[in-house]
Amino acid sequence: QITVGVLALQGGVIEHISLLQKAAAQLSSRSSTPTPQFSFIQVRTAAQLSQCDALIIPGGESTTMAIVARRLGLLDPLREFVKVQHKPTWGTCAGLVMLASAASATKQGGQELIGGLDVKVLRNRYGTQLQSFVGDLRLPFLEEGEPFRGVFIRAPVVEEIITTAGDDEVTKLKGKQVEVMGTYPKPQGTGEGEDIVAVRQGNVFGTSFHPELTDDVRIHTWWLKQVVEGLKSGGRDVQAQS
Ligand code: GLN
């Protein structure tokens, strides 16, 4: 049995759980060999977190989430989960902000983060709630098919990949560099090229957008598969096994 938690302090919790259930059903119906049983739980305490093999940090509001996590004594257990135990963790939107090692300064000043991804994020890159949009994404890690409908709500983007390892270290840490998993064209008037909207580094995965607000189960299915494969080969490191 594999236990996957969704951090349930604030934000889109139920939506993730419902898509995870669909993804698990799809995995078992598609596989010729028996797939593990999953249990999906809401995580509000360190004890619940310790039951989890993998975790999703949902969208919401990252400053609020950090304040609540601090109050409940969850920030350090979360950092341990992601950065010491190296358990598979996926953050969507505010969850991506929480998993970044730095977030660009906000009016209120800094905010507490969990870290795990050596990136700096730019919060609210596309503006306010009113500037929310849905955009088609080509995500090379998904099987061929329709573009993925990316739901962007006060979304952050990765504005900088912070290189923490020198060449030797990179070799030692092979597979631990930040990988760009998805991009989206910069809005007009905000520069040339593409914004980074999905990244992975070892066990940590982050998306700017909200797959849980669509009925497209592909990213959840892909991620659960990574979780299963990582656990099967005895490691916690999702990327190293793929
Ligand atoms: N703008 C929010 C933040 O910075 C994220 C919004 C979201 O999760 N939809 O935390």
Q: Would you list the domain boundaries of the chain?
A: 2-241
**Portion of the chain with pLDDT greater than 90, in percent:** 72
- Check: CATH 3.40.50.970 for 2-241? no
State whether the beta carbon of 60 lies less than 6 angstroms from ligand 1.
Answer: yes
What pLDDT, on the 0 to 100 scale, is given for residue 173?
A: 54
CA 94 – ligand 1 centroid, Å: 4
15, 52, 86, 212: the catalytic one is: 212
Q: Give the tens place of pLDDT for each residue, 196-238.
A: 999 999 999 999 999 999 999 999 999 999 999 888 876 544 4
CA 98 – ligand 1 centroid, Å: 10
Say which amino acid occupies 86. Answer: H
**Residue with more model confidence, 143 or 71:** 71
> pTM of the full predicted structure?
0.91
Is the Cβ–Cβ distance between 211 and 220 less than 8 Å? yes
**The total number of residues written for the chain in this structure:** 242
State whether the beta carbon of 211 lies less than 6 angstroms from ligand 1.
Answer: no
What's the average model confidence in pLDDT over 110-127?
92
Range from 81-85, 141-145, 157-161 carrying the lowest mean pLDDT:
141-145
State whether the beta carbon of 94 lies less than 6 angstroms from ligand 1.
Answer: yes
Distance CA 70, CA 56 (A): 18
What pLDDT, on the 0 to 100 scale, is given for residue 35?
A: 82
Mutual orientation of helices 13-30 and 218-232 as an angle, nearest 10°?
Answer: 70
Is residue 212 annotated as a catalytic residue, yes or no?
yes
Is residue 93 annotated as a catalytic residue, yes or no?
yes
pLDDT interval class at 16 (50, 70, 90): very high
pLDDT interval class at 241 (50, 70, 90): very low
184: tokens are 């989206």
What's the average model confidence in pLDDT over 52-56?
98
Which ligand 1 atom lies nearest to the CA of residue 124? 1
Say which amino acid occupies 10. Answer: Q
Return the SS3 of 149. strand
Distance CA 236, CA 238 (A): 6
What's the average model confidence in pLDDT over 154-177?
73
Is residue 52 annotated as a catalytic residue, yes or no?
no
State whether the beta carbon of 62 lies less than 6 angstroms from ligand 1.
Answer: yes
Average pLDDT, the chain: 89
Query: Residue 137: what are its φ and ψ, rounded to 5°?
Result: -120, 140
Q: Give the tens place of pLDDT for each residue, 64-83.
A: 999 999 999 999 999 999 99
State whether the beta carbon of 77 lies less than 6 angstroms from ligand 1.
Answer: no
Q: What region does 222 belong to: left with phi over 0, alpha with psi -120 to 50, or beta?
A: alpha
What's the average model confidence in pLDDT over 47-67?
96
93, 159, 160, 229: the catalytic one is: 93
